[in-house]
Amino acid sequence: MRESVYQMITVTLPDGSQKKFEQPPTGLDVARTISEGLARDAVAMELNGTLTDLSTPILQDARVRLVTTRDPEALQIMRHSAAHVMAQAVLRLYPDAKLTIGPVVADGFYYDIDMPPVSEEDLAKIESEMKKIIKARLPISRRTVPKSEALEFYRREPYKLEMISELADGSISFYQQGEFTDLCRGPHVPHTGFVKAVKLMKVSGAYWRADPSRAQLQRIYGTAYFSNKELKQYLRFIAEAKKRNHRKIGTAMDLFSFHDEAPGMPFFHARGMAVWNVLLDYWRAEHRAAGYVETKTPIMLNRALWERSGHWENYRENMYTSAIDDTEYAIKPMNCPGGMLLYANRPHSYRDLPIRAAEIGLVHRHELSGVLSGLFRVRAFHQDDAHIFMRPDQIEAEILGVLQLVDRIYSTFGLGFHLELSTRPAKSIGTDQQWEQATNGLASALNAYGRDYKINDGDGAFYGPKIDVHIKDALGRTWQCGTIQLDMSLPERFDLSYIGADNEKHRPIMIHRVIYGSIERFFGILIEHFAGKFPLWLAPLQAVILPINDELAAGARQIQATFEDAGLRCDVDDRTESLNRKIREAQLQYIPLILTYGKREADAGTLSVRTLDGKVRYGIPHDDFLRRVSAVIREKQIEAEVF
């Protein structure tokens, strides 16, 4: 018999150095050859580009990167393990509970569980049990079994059984910690002690697989960090975010409301409309300056149009429909098809292009009631849409123009942003040449723009690549609002064309783009960004005059009229309340300028001006007041000290 010859295993580290092993090592073995400190800090490893458990054997020569608590992937891996710890704690306290799934989300994790309703008191009990599991430092181990064995193991767990039944035949992985076993792909941290700091945040209802006809589950949310310091920072952030909640501030400032008669469809009050109109006036001015024309398309169009655009087939469940004169209609969920009809209304020459057509379009989308969230997720909203029709040689210049417009608008509100370029997905339409031309056009514009951007391979729309714009607010939160999409589908579907310099018909390239995105959502973001303290140019009520007695009310009204003629949004509070109370109420409504008007001011033709920082300036003449205020409003200053 021939003896087998064992070959040494070579592990190549990110810096190019190599480690050789006589026996197949695990990631932990590799870490220990470097230092015991690294071994204690290692969470997982990247094996030939794939994240896996630290305990995975390395069976052949490989590239290995050790993932420590300082690496960005580590937090997600640990939070995934924290979801298992929570599920284990739930089963200890509620043995009859049935588990479904427990994914990681942006700021933590959740687990959907079929169990009795959970209260805040119950969350404290679950969290306490979790801390016992964490303190025990239970080893977390992985094993794989055939599908038949997995089905047998979960024969009394209907949700797990359903998920396993849908998997392809082959090996299925389980993870175990103490008495708890869960179906999972992994990877996980080596033991439960890595979940250093944990907090259960809230509980909500969720249907199994988002299907209202299925069981309603308890969705328990939590977060976890590698240190108590990080957890405390996050909880402070959450507390500040709660103070900035746009629904709470919007109610206090009398901006908008929601009513049962129209779920998910906001009602804007007079003061809310003041902000709304300022946003639109500014938007229109910037777009006029950038060479756009404004258009308007109907809110309701027939089924034939939506079939032609592809929405009836692919988006029908999100659309509201009706029948008129025996014809089916749909309320538009987006503006694009109407924009196609406008372009096709007359012939175009290459000399006409680019055509930049903008529309503030009211659209409706059927969202499930469970996902509605103030102004952030609604069923009726306005998109600041625009469709740019252009020649292929104009792609770079037009994209660059949109990016510059985005920069001007967002910077006016003090919002930073970053850019992401999403390329061709696995399922797409169009030729390789079209995609290459479109993607190169976007990339060239981004490079000419001069800002760093991230590439999301394969994350483009099926009809074309896109640039997503993610804004950053005062709390450092990011929101995806703006998007710039190249579309090769709708011009084809609607047979759009222009006559080229060669006197032949050509297909235009089209850009979809929004900047505010949804005006309702952008409004909500601004409320939270400014914490209700809008800059003077944007404030719903810019000034309030407080006469100190009834005899001075008429004079206050005359001043109000003068200020309103100058374009200032101003009111008079002449109620029979104490001055201190009226000042306090004005501060709670975040009115930037609180003007006290007493006998001394009436005799001198001046005002006493109180600002939201609590400072008071006395003896300001009316003309001087208007001059200073008008300059700040005209220049749209954000943090200007008017006085």
Q: Which sequence positions are flagged as catalytic? A: 336, 365, 383, 385, 387, 466, 512
List the end-to-end C-alpha distance of the chain, in Å, as a whole number.
Answer: 97
SS3 category, 377: strand
The amino acid at residue 149 is E
Q: Which two tokens stand for residue 607?
A: 């005002």
Q: Which two tokens stand for residue 555?
A: 């004079």
Radius of gyration of the chain (CA): 30
State the chain's maximal CA–CA distance in angstroms: 116
162 HSE (CA, 13 A, CB side): 9
Q: Which two tokens stand for residue 354?
A: 């680019």
Distance CA 613, CA 594 (A): 11
Distance CA 609, CA 615 (A): 8
Distance CA 248, CA 243 (A): 8
11 CB contacts (<8 Å, ≥6 apart)? 18, 19, 20, 21, 25, 30, 58, 61, 62, 63, 64
Angle, vertex CA 71, rays to CA 69 and CA 73, nearest 5 = 100
Q: Which two tokens stand for residue 288?
A: 């006029």
For residue 323, count CB atoms less than 10 angstroms from its CB and return exposed for 0-12, middle for 13-18, buried for 19 or more.
exposed
SS3 category, 203: strand
Distance CA 636, CA 413 (A): 9
Q: Is the dihedral of CA 244, 248, 252, 256 positive or negative?
A: positive
Relative to beta strand 593-597, strand 543-547 is parallel
Q: Which two tokens stand for residue 417?
A: 């942003």
Contact present, 327 and 303 (Cβ < 8 Å): yes
525 CB contacts (<8 Å, ≥6 apart)? 246, 376, 471, 473, 479, 481
- Long-range contacts: 627-632, Cβ < 8 Å, 24+? 629/536, 629/542, 629/543, 629/568, 629/593, 630/566, 630/567, 630/568, 632/536, 632/537
565 CB contacts (<8 Å, ≥6 apart)? none
Closest to 508 (Cα-Cα) out of 518, 494, 526, 496: 496
490-520 burial: b if 16+ Cβ within 10 Å, else e: bbebbebbbeeeeeeebebbbbbbbbbbbbb
Helix, strand, coil percentages in the chain from 3-state DSSP, rounded to 5: 40, 30, 35
For residue 579, count CB atoms less than 10 angstroms from its CB and return exposed for 0-12, middle for 13-18, buried for 19 or more.
middle
Q: Which two tokens stand for residue 277?
A: 């109109």
Q: How many CB atoms lie within 10 A of CB 393?
A: 11
